[in-house]
Amino acid sequence: MKRTKIKELLTTTPSGQQVTVQGWVRTFRNNQFVAINDGSTIQNIQAVVDFNNTPETLLKRITTGACVSITGELVPSPAKGQPVEVKVQKLEILGDSDAEKFPLQPKKHSLEFLREIAHLRARTNTFGAVMRVRHAMAFAVHKFFNERGFVYVHTPVITGSDAEGAGAMFRVTTLDANNPPRDEQGKVDHKQDFFGRETNLTVSGQLEGETYALALGDIYTFGPTFRAENSNTTRHLAEFWMIEPEMAFYDIQDNMQLAQDFLQYLVRYALEHCAEDLEFLNKRALEEEQTKPQEQRSELSLIDRLKFVSENDFQRLSYTEAIDILRSSTPNKKKKFQYLIDEWGADLQSEHERFLVEKHFKKPVILYNYPAAIKSFYMRQNEDGKTVAAMDVLFPGIGEIIGGSQREERYDRLLKRVQELGLPDKDLWWYLELRKFGSAPHSGFGLGFERLILFVTGMTNIRDVIPFPRFPGNAEF
Ligand code: 4AD
Ligand code: MG
């Protein structure tokens, strides 16, 4: 008999019809009540076993973690909190689970512990909920851009360029690390490498994305990106997913508006389509909050925070205005910032970003027009000669969720900047050439997908919102 997913059964009117459910045992009580979860919803279905007529040997195999297939009658449940249950007529164990050894017990485990068993953690309520929300958000990303006529462009994972000019790249090579071929000067000869040159895993699809924006108008990328930077924080991964829209004829103002519309759309989508999982995550986040000292607790619950962000305009503010606010503020009566912002031109630390978002404006902030010296080479130079048309979107509890800019579309200015910074213009020839043939004003940004998922789920460590996190020293699973 074809199986029915639990999500569907829970909204079916029970009239004793035959159903088959397949899933994993969460608990087995009183030799009678099996709670089964199949991942289609956070809720379990209760199956009631007739233990008088079930062999002891079979009953013993109904253990937490085992995979079962049951067929029986769908009936109204007398127990509270569940509309239906299944009166078991046939029970089959598809996969045994040794109760003594199964690491997931029916109790709350710490997230640190669960990270060590990343191959099993999807069987917990928390990870089930987070991954269903993650799926919904990925779907909503495509839906948003499709509704606006953007073209999804697949940019390469292996590249010859360093899009951010930051050098934090993973090398891709087929050369023998112990004995690489060498040229006459004794340097490693990359001409003999697979691609005949040095290559890396991409840090961003932006540069390639720009080439398509200057042909198709509005495009976006959505794929994995890699950074060999120190990612031993709760906000960084060595492998993360990024969404990068790029739009011809957009200036920085249009770019900021799109970033706000996009984020609000995603958050609204989650509220509308992930209600059950968000309710669970909301409770979970509240419990976490209770473990923090009073002054560190957030004023709003997860769901209220999502509603607030989806309904209110973000605060737009230039870097210079932000510096003025920060210079005249003390985060609380006694303490100053750990890093003082004395000089115009200094990069903001996360404590400054948090102050602006969480204490001063109490809403998401879009900072724009940053000093050129602290931003990437491709950003459009403003007429003041000091700043570039960069923008960062800062979110409560997250910090930077989006980074973007209007791009420098003027060939001479871009070339000069590339040379000033000593970047390899021979690798960037094609990017520069775009400015020679039909250049156009254009803008774009990158949304860190996992940072979005952190915000929407209320989870606090980025390693817990991606199925298999990559960070220094960890690529086991
Ligand atoms: O600010 P970033 O470095 O910008 C770019 O890569 C641009 N090329 C984007 C563009 O304009 N098309 O990164 C963009 C976003 C950040 O705001 C952050 O959300 C996320 O990507 N991000 C990371 N997320 C997780 N782990 C990391 N190591 C991340 N580095 C950046
Ligand atoms: Mg950035």
pLDDT digits (tens, 9 = 90+) for 316-348: 999 999 999 998 887 776 677 877 777 899 999
pLDDT of residue 355: 93
Contact 63, 97 (CB under 8 A): yes
Phi, psi (degrees; rounded to nearest 5) at 460: -115, -10
Residues 6+ apart with CB under 8 A from 178: none
Ligand 1 atom with least separation from CA of 206: 12
**Whose alpha carbon is nearest atom 4 of ligand 1?**
403
- What is the average pLDDT across 62-76? 98
User: Which tokens belong to 152?
Assistant: 């999804």
Distance 155 CA to ligand 2 centre (A): 20
Ligand 1 atom with least separation from CA of 236: 26
Q: Average the pLDDT over each of 35-44, 335-344, 440-449 and give the range with the smallest value.
A: 335-344
Residue 401 Cβ contacting ligand 1 at under 6 Å: yes
- What is the average pLDDT across 423-438? 92
How many other β-carbons are positioned within 10 Å of the β-carbon of residue 79? 10
pLDDT of residue 230: 78
pLDDT of residue 167: 66
pLDDT interval class at 165 (50, 70, 90): low
Calculate the average pLDDT of the chain: 95
Question: How long a stretch of residues is the chain?
Answer: 477
Dump pLDDT digits (tens) for 202-215: 999 999 999 999 99
pLDDT of residue 333: 66
Secondary structure letter of residue 471 according to DSSP: B
Q: Minimum-distance ligand to the CA of 370?
A: 2
Residue 445 Cβ contacting ligand 1 at under 6 Å: yes
pLDDT of residue 338: 78
Contact 283, 439 (CB under 8 A): no
What ipTM, to 2 d.p.? Answer: 0.99
Residues 6+ apart with CB under 8 A from 378: 206, 207, 405, 407, 408, 414, 431
What is the spatial distance between Cα 377 and Cα 384, in angstroms, rounded to a whole number? 17
**Whose alpha carbon is nearest atom 25 of ligand 1?**
236
Distance 416 CA to ligand 1 centre (A): 25
- What is the average pLDDT across 255-262? 98
Residues 6+ apart with CB under 8 A from 303: 271, 278, 279, 282
Q: Average the pLDDT over each of 113-127, 133-147, 182-196, 339-353 and give the range with the smallest value.
A: 339-353
Contact 89, 21 (CB under 8 A): no
Higher pLDDT, 422 or 6: 6
Distance 168 CA to ligand 2 centre (A): 13
Of 239, 451, 453, best ligand 1 pocket probe by most atoms within 8 Å of the beta carbon = 451
Q: Where are the alpha helices (DSSP H) in 39-163?
A: 56-59, 111-115, 125-147
Q: Is the pLDDT of residue 243 over 90?
A: yes
With a pLDDT cut of 70, the percent of the chain lying above it is 99
Distance 392 CA to ligand 2 centre (A): 7
- What is the average pLDDT across 168-196? 93
Phi, psi (degrees; rounded to nearest 5) at 280: -60, -45
Distance 214 CA to ligand 2 centre (A): 23
pLDDT interval class at 299 (50, 70, 90): confident
Ligand 1 atom with least separation from CA of 209: 12
pLDDT of residue 158: 97
In sign, the C-alpha dihedral spanning 5, 6, 11, 16 is: positive
